[in-house]
Structure 1
Amino acid sequence: MHKDIATPVRTKEILKKYGFSFKKSLGQNFLIDPNILRNIVGYADLTKESAAIEIGPGIGALTEHLARAAGKVVSFEIDQRLLPVLEDTLSPYSNVKIVHSDVLKADVVNIIKEELAHYKDIMVVANLPYYVTTPILLKLITENLPIRGMVVMMQKEVADRISATPGTKAYGSLSIAVQYYMNAEVVMTVPKTVFMPQPNVDSAVLRLTRREELPVRVIDESFLFEVVRSSFAQRRKTILNNLQSQLPNGKEKKEYILSALAEVNIEPTRRGETLSIVEFGQLADALYPYFKK
């Protein structure tokens, strides 16, 4: 068994050996607690029949634990300076493939075809860079990847927003964009003290599992999300006011919006944060003929 990468001593040794300095712009915070890494990997339920996709391996702290648990790991690293470090730290593991690429620009579907064709069970497991957590998640969720789900660490506040339920302050368009496709739950919180350098905020691990069935079937998914975003444009405003001010020609179409709301039994005085995903789906379909036909 090799010495864990994720201890303060070993992390410092590696950084010193390579003269590595953290780039704030890349949101680099490396984990230095092996127990937390073991727990994260545990939540992904991996076997040697599974594959893992990682984003931002850093110096390989989580990658190493994934390599021990899964059949194969494909890891996306944007920072060229880390490639020689990873080649060194992960040299004991022959089942890791590092892809030097920005995952937001990468053709992930194609990379899965090339690298993970034999795997039926694929999980995304990552300590996501804070500054691009949301775009990465939304890309991975909406590209319809053949994955079972994700176990991802992020800022606690973002994890709370994604997993929020209707009627709470954290619930918003991000909650709905993710929960439309995935079941979301925060499985652990992670104090800032277990990172190097320490971030300013606490983190949380979010487990996302692909839904067997979408919560609601709609005519046009992109229109559904347009209605959702419009409804949360100004949180204090009623759903009627938000839709009027945000949808194209909404002011002139007030009567149509009112009749769509009436059709699906949603009071025009309600606020967006009180509507469930199913209600948003019904509302989008009722508005569709007036705004999209």
Structure 2
Amino acid sequence: MLTISQLQHLFAEHNIRPDKRLGQNFLIDQHIFDKIVAAADLSPDDQVVEVGSGVGNLTMFLAPRVRHVVAVEKSRFLLPLLEETLKPHPNTTIVFGDILDLSIPELLNKFPPLAKGDKGGFSRTPSTLPPSKGGQGGFKLVANIPYNITGHLLRQFLDTGTPPSKLVLLVQRDVAERLLAEPPDMNLLACSVRYFADVRIEARVSPNCFWPAPQVDSSIIVITPRPKAYDATLAQKDRFFQLLRAGYSQKRKQVAALLATELGIKKATVGKWLADLGLSAQARAQEMLVIQWLCLAEHDSIHYC
């Protein structure tokens, strides 16, 4: 693990500074590295996609414990530092680019194929990736992500035919708390993520665990995708998100009014659906659970209720 003094020396040597615009706050606390590794429940056969690898401090903890790590980094200025750090770890592959511009098949194809006769592990071909321990796809996602891409990244890795078996993310504390919100404080991000997966907070992380220290606390969150979200069909899923986006399009307005305005559904019809769910006709989106949005997506059906 690189200490603060080592990081400062490395940055000075390469004449660069941490980029606030990219949310570059580098984790330097071994206790937190250990918590992330434990939360990921890593095994020697695991394959890991790490987003925002930076200078490779976390990558160095991941690589000895798994089959292979694909380390994604957006900053071209950090690439020489990352390459230098990861030289002793041949089971790593560095990918330069914005994670939001990379497809999951692209990333999975960076994993090397199994050696002949090797037992366990996974092929690098996405269509043949079997589930890894405890979940869906043949890889796990570990990331320290900036606030402004959280929603996009979660949708990218959850709304796919090959989601990771587990996501372990270091995010701002307020983002973690939003993901675990309950009525009457539900929000679009929480509903969207919890449609696909279960979420828990593993630990809180002080600003003092980073260099440079951010101005806010962080949290380690663990997201575990479900095998098939609520057994919903593609049409039901599309309808769920259509209703959800309409319902959250204006925070202070009532759901019935918004669905009438945005989607052309009669207010009286929505009022009946809400009443069937035990909700007031004046209900707002923040008061509704994921399961209740699913019931609306089913219209007056009680299949999910």
With normalisation by structure 2, the TM-score equals 0.84
Provide the C-alpha distance between the structure 1 equivalents of 2:112 and 2:38, rounded to a whole number of angstroms: 21
Greater mean alpha carbon deviation, residues 48-57 or residues 10-19: 10-19
1:234 pairs, out of 221, 228, 250, with 250
Describe the SS at the equivalent of 1:233: coil
Matched with 1:281 is 294
Deviation, 1:260, is 3.8
Offset, 1:222:
2.3
What does residue 145 of structure 2 align with?
Answer: 128
For the residue of structure 1 that corresponds to 2:153, the secondary structure is helix
Other-structure match for 2:199: 184
**1:234-263 superposed Cα distances (whole Å, 9 cap, x missing partner):** 333332223233x2335xx32333344355
Does the alignment pair 1:248 with 2:263? Answer: yes
Alpha-carbon distance in 1 for matches of 2:87, 2:157: 28
Corresponding residue number in structure 2 for 1:270:
283
Q: Deviations over 1:212-242 (max 9, x none)?
A: 3423625431221121122233333332223
Measure the CA separation in 1 of the matches of 2:72 and 2:30.
21
Question: 1:16 maps to what in 2?
Answer: 12
Q: CA deviation at 1:25?
A: 1.9
Instruction: Give unmatched runs, 5+ long, in structure 1.
Output: 289-293
* Letter paired with 2:178: R
Question: Between the two proteins, what is the percent identity of the paired residues?
Answer: 28
Name the structure 2 match of 1:76: 72
Residues 85-104 of structure 1, C-alpha deviations (whole Å, 9 max, x = no match): 11111111111100111111
Q: How many residues align?
A: 279
Q: CA deviation at 1:264?
A: 4.9
Q: Within 5 A, what are the aligned runs for 1:70-219? A: 70-115=66-111, 118-119=121-122, 120=130, 121=132, 122-165=139-182, 167-169=183-185, 171-215=186-230, 217=232, 219=235
Report SS of the residue matched to 1:215.
helix
Which residue number in structure 1 is paired with residue 39 of structure 2? 43
CA contact (8 A) 2:171 2:218 kept: yes
RMSD: 2.1
* Distance in 2 separating the partners of 1:70 and 1:172: 36
1:162-212 C-alpha deviation (Å, 9 max, x unpaired):
1223x142x211101101111001111111121112212111111001113
TM-score when scaled to structure 1? Answer: 0.87
Structure 2 gap ranges (5+)? 114-120, 123-129, 133-138
> How far does residue 30 in structure 1 lie from its aligned partner after superposition?
0.7
Query: Is 1:56–1:129's contact at 8 Å kept on the other side of the alignment?
Result: no
Over 3 Å counting, the alpha-carbon distance change for 1:192 and 1:223 in structure 2 is: same
Deviations, residues 56-101 of structure 1 (Å, cap 9, x unaligned): 1110011111112211100111111111111111111111100111
Q: Check 1:207–1:101 CA distance in 2 against 1; reply closer, same or farther (3 A cut).
A: same
Q: Contact conserved, 2:70 with 2:110, CA < 8 A, in 1? A: no
Please give the secondary structure, in 2, of the residue aligned with 1:179.
helix
CA contact (8 A) 1:237 1:271 kept: yes
SS at match of 2:242: helix
User: Using the alignment, how far apart are the partners of 1:57 and 1:287 within structure 2?
Assistant: 47
- Partners of 1:144 and 1:10 in 2: how far apart? 41
**One-letter identity of the residue aligned with 1:133:** T
Q: State the partner residue of 1:223.
A: 239
